[in-house]
Structure 1
């Protein structure tokens, strides 16, 4: 049995970089970390309000001495890890990016959570002790395992804390669906009054639960919000949005930072839309022909929905 530990959540971004010989860049955890001697992808926590694209560039430079540029999003993963020496269990939503190296020189770091940065062939990497998420991102089997709690701890779906300026802060990871049926209809939900964006059309989805993977979380949300059962076709991208004084049902301003993963979802057998989560943030939901979606005024869609639909080429 793992001991009772304080649950924490964070969002982090990591880089998959390869050189001209096909080797992958890895960093080694030092004695100052919870997993000394274990190798991982370079990267780290997304600061409040920070775009994950910037996080992965910043963290890679700090841990390796190399300047990189993001070339694409590879995957979004989640895991739980218990750290008894710190008295915490951490759920981390991990954004995995492909990057290209622009320049710099590999550095060793003394007195930091990572101390070495090295290029390894995949064959060499598979013989190393790798963090499970890094092995999964590289398509390798993990030679080490994180200590996990026996049962996911209880953690609120909404958690705000006081920031250094005295304003409450909240950072949340969520997954949303661009869901279509065989008849070129798009599934949209309308945000209930009293919530940020109230009265506007939004994509179905929402925040993931503690210990939950983004894909299953999205399909769960799809059923709860609309009664539809879909299948995920592909990961489309990730968006970061900050509202420094968001007003919601809490009744006070919150410095809100949302990081959202967007997926293309197909509902092969659409049914009558039913909102199961009555009294929540969803006020209405319906199938809408794509031509009608394209005709909606700009103020009828949430900003993130409009951005996602444009990126998918639907408006």
Structure 2
């Protein structure tokens, strides 16, 4: 069974009447009359926010600005009998910044729709989840085959991380050990999202493995990305690495003794810090992003 990962970024754009902009597939597609949010796949080394601006311009003719990060969700999609793909979808709220809406582009019609009218309409599991509607379903797959790996590993990895505080206001950070991309730097607790795993569930798992703490997530904070075209994997392979970091706010309501449960993994030390001490630390882009509320 082939298993692949895909990251997409999508936008919710509303008009003054409360309608949202949707795309309805034409007969030229494999799923005519199905409904989709505008947006698309995050290209290698592309920030998800840039993906939304690029795809909205191509698909709708509109220039947009992001007003908020709305949600992140994941689902495993059956592409063929022998292929499953894990989709991670990042959804932003948008506003129009220019351009003119095209009636039809990229094999879909662009329509303003009252969300309540979409109940029961054909759409993918992911689209219905993003809109908060009950799943209506589409036939599996999109007819494309998994791409063979290149000579140099093109690695696009989704990680879930948390800016965790305790009742005293301290922040929990982890140290990256030798052999990893940011050895010697302090990082946010968290890690890669496994195949078939929701980001929040993966984050809570990673927090416990790295720190032994039981955390409560309180909301999405930021999405940031990092591109390292000359990275080396822990097993020594050259990698063109694109990391997409989903950052949540969270609390540890009842701190316990800090212990690394997953000994020998990507964490060598874990420690509570006063917020004022963090700017002077050697730190990753995820911690930098966490400093910016």
Q: TM-score, normalization: structure 1?
A: 0.84
Deviation string 1:104-150 (CA, Å, 9 cap, x unpaired) is 122324xx5x42221111222224223333233333333336759xx
Corresponding position: 1:161 with 2:146: no
- The corresponding residue for 2:61 is 65
- The corresponding residue for 1:276 is 261
* Cα distance in 2 for residues equivalent to 1:276 and 1:108: 53
Aligned match for 1:187, one of 172, 191, 194:
172
- The corresponding residue for 2:205 is 220
- The corresponding residue for 1:89 is 84
Aligned match for 2:109, one of 100, 105, 116:
116
Unaligned stretches of 5+ in structure 1? Answer: 149-159
* Structural mapping, 1:95-244, within 5 Å: 95-101=90-96, 102-109=98-105, 112=106, 114-144=107-137, 161-162=149-150, 166-244=151-229
CA contact (8 A) 2:226 2:285 kept: no
Residue aligned with 1:282, SS: coil
Residue aligned with 2:104, SS: coil
Corresponding position: 1:49 with 2:45: yes
Compared CA separation, residues 6 and 34, structure 1 to 2 (3 A): farther
Q: Alpha-carbon deviation of 1:263?
A: 0.5
Q: Alpha-carbon deviation of 1:304?
A: 2.7
Q: Alpha-carbon deviation of 1:79?
A: 0.7
- The corresponding residue for 2:144 is none
Corresponding position: 1:14 with 2:10: yes
* Cα distance in 2 for residues equivalent to 1:23 and 1:184: 41
Q: Alpha-carbon deviation of 1:177?
A: 0.6
* Cα distance in 1 for residues equivalent to 2:34 and 2:214: 40
Q: TM-score, normalization: structure 2?
A: 0.90
Moved more, 18-27 or 203-212: 18-27
- The corresponding residue for 1:76 is 72
Unaligned stretches of 5+ in structure 2? Answer: 142-147
* Cα distance in 2 for residues equivalent to 1:43 and 1:264: 26
Q: Alpha-carbon deviation of 1:81?
A: 0.9
* Cα distance in 1 for residues equivalent to 2:215 and 2:283: 22
Aligned residues: 286
Deviation string 1:233-287 (CA, Å, 9 cap, x unpaired) is 0100100110110134232431100001100110001111111111111111122
Q: Alpha-carbon deviation of 1:7?
A: 1.5
